[in-house]
Structure 1
């Protein structure tokens, strides 16, 4: 691959830092210029990244999935077992 073949990453305007129960999550929604599917990635305060398996046809749908996950599972959806023990024990 040469410089002319570089893939451009396009970030959504919906990317944001979100505070939940005093903890910060960084929500990144992005796609490449060669694939129309939006990716939802959430990085917790420990630097652990959670990338959802499915792609979204619109960035707003990715954001809605983030909100749904937080509503159903809370902050712990984006924490490892070790991180959960550190925060909640």
Structure 2
């Protein structure tokens, strides 16, 4: 690959738009063609992106982390303080 060539982004089949209590999240799981680690990114309805720090060995593990985070922290895990005030107050 040339230094100027951009890596190809490979999207997982597990990417999804998710509705939780009337609120929407976009779950993107992707990797590049040069790095085998899968990235988990969750975008809330305000357009705020949350990207998990460490890549995952498989896209299914990234999805499991999304589910675990939702079960433990709920929708608030993917909202800023200002967004939480807008939705919950």
Q: TM-score of the superposition, structure 1-length normalised?
A: 0.95
Distance 2:15 2:6 in 1: 23
What is the CA-CA distance between 1:6 and the residue it aligns to? 1.8
Matches within 5 A, 1:6-25: 6-25=6-25
Matches within 5 A, 1:1-89: 1-2=3-4, 5-89=5-89
Q: Deviations over 1:65-86 (max 9, x none)?
A: 0000000000000000000000
Q: Give the CA RMSD over aligned residues.
A: 0.6
Gaps of 5+ in 1: none
User: Where do 4+ consecutive residues of structure 1 move more than 3 Å?
Assistant: none
Distance 1:46 1:34 in 2: 31
What is the CA-CA distance between 1:54 and the residue it aligns to? 1.0
Gaps of 5+ in 2: none
Tell me how many residue pairs correspond in the alignment: 87
